Structure 1
Amino acid sequence: MPKLTVHDAKGKKVGTYTIEPTDLAPRINKQLLHDAVVMYQANKRQGSHQTKTRAKVSGTTKKLYRQKGTGNARAGSRRSGIRRGGGHIHAIRNRDYSYSLPRKALQLAARMAIASKVRDGELTLIDKLEFDEPKTKDMVGILQYLGCNDESLLIATSGNVPNVYKSARNIQDVSVSPAAELNALSVLSSRRLLITPEALDQIKARASGGQDSETKGAGS
């Protein structure tokens, strides 16, 4: 089985971690990953865009010319949708783009995204990541030691660690999330995933539990 190197805060090797992509997901389904990412992006859309109807565009409501006697077609308003500068006939209204996929599908997609990081060598392990107080300078130093300072990075922690979040929030292209809150979009949006063995253990435990339940359901 492949072994990942575990580093300390100075970038030195302090151990190894054995993991297979299949420990997280039986296979990587690109269609499911695509569906999950599109859903998360759609749910982030504000949906407040709209175009103006003839009632909203600026312009006079005076009749352009008399009804009869000119030889022209009847015309009532300069704001009509058939005229330049007029309103849209079928105007775009405010809309809600959000929708949802099954919870188990989203959980599986998140594990597939992490498994793809393992498969592609885009996952870095650090033995522990903690600060006594928020210190951006120290966080930058750790990322430099690990070689993670030149690409977009997602830091996954074993729980809510405010000092880690505050130390990284002002660094460009770096985001922090508890392992329990990772999703397909957050994982795939970053080039590299930095995670502790403890957090990865949590993900593996949930993955094995989910796979066991799926196996039982299929056999019943």
Structure 2
Amino acid sequence: METKVLDTKGKATSDKVTLADSIYGIEPNDHAIYLDVKQYLANQRQGTHKSKERSEIVGSTRKIKKQKGTGTARAGSIKSPIFRGGGRAFGPRPRNYRFDLNVKLKRVARRSALSLKAKENSIMVLDGLKFDTPKTKTFKSVLTALKLDSEKVLFVVGNENDNVYLSAKNIKNTKVVSADSLNTYDVLNAKKIVIAKDAVNVIEKILN
């Protein structure tokens, strides 16, 4: 699939880039996408949730009332889950939500996500995205030139550039990632994908 290359002013250059059909033109595998997104979100969870159970509650061990003759249910401890301030029954405990996926499956998922975006004509290729100094105003001008001010945008750069990351950091609905850390969730979560020209080959090397 051949696509034109835009400059930072939103104008088409004389250059064109061929996006590999093996990455941007396959039949999407929905289940692979589901698993990869599920893993990404699971890996974001800290798993530090915790509530106190009855054995961890500090309170009196005195029997609340006599066993018989009250006409109500038996009660042996103020720390019981049925009382206010008591321990929680079957409450959350710290756990690790991470799980592994086959590398081949993850590649299929990412190719599927990029193919979906390509079918929607949501992928743009940018000639270059390099800033000498961090400047949010400069990055905003690029968004305006590309007519992406009101869109949720994912910028994919070939090499890590701190100035680019810092320039986009405070802009709502805009995220910058390097080509080697591109993931299915970010691709699907964005409305438009802007790929730097030098990132195209990096993506092909990783996903082919």
Where on the TM-score scale, by shorter chain, does this alignment land: which range? 0.7 to 0.9
The Cα RMSD (Å) is: 2.2
TM-score, reference length from structure 1: 0.83
Matches within 5 A, 1:176-191: 176-191=176-191
Provide the identity percentage: 35
Can you list the C-alpha shifts for 1:19-43, whole angstroms capped at 9, x where unaligned? 3544446421011001100111011
Tell me: CA distance 1:205–1:81, structure 2 relative to 1, closer, same or farther (3 Å). closer
Measure the CA separation in 2 of the matches of 1:106 and 1:161.
Answer: 26
Partner of 1:116: 116
Report the more deviating stretch, 109-118 or 49-58.
Answer: 49-58
* Count of residues paired in the alignment: 207
Match in the other structure for 1:172: 172
Q: Indicate if the aligned counterparts of 2:136 and 2:170 stay in contact, CA closer than 8 A.
A: yes
1:12 maps to: 11
The one-letter code sitting in structure 1 at the alignment partner of 2:115 is: A
Measured after TM superposition, the shift of residue 12 of structure 1 is 0.8
What is the Cα deviation at residue 91 of structure 1?
2.8
CA offset digits 1:33-74 (Å, max 9, x no partner): 011001110111111223331234465432112345556554
- Spell out the pairing of 1:1-220 with structure 2 (5 A cutoff): 2-14=1-13, 15-19=15-19, 21-24=21-24, 26-57=26-57, 59-67=59-67, 70=70, 74-83=74-83, 85-207=85-207, 210=208
Q: Name whichever of 36-45 and 74-83 sits farther off.
A: 74-83
State the alpha-carbon separation in 1 of the partners of residues 93 and 22 from structure 2.
45
| Runs of 5+ unmatched residues, structure 2 | none
TM-score of the superposed pair, with normalisation by structure 2: 0.88
Where in structure 1 do 4 or more consecutive aligned residues deviate above 6 Å? none
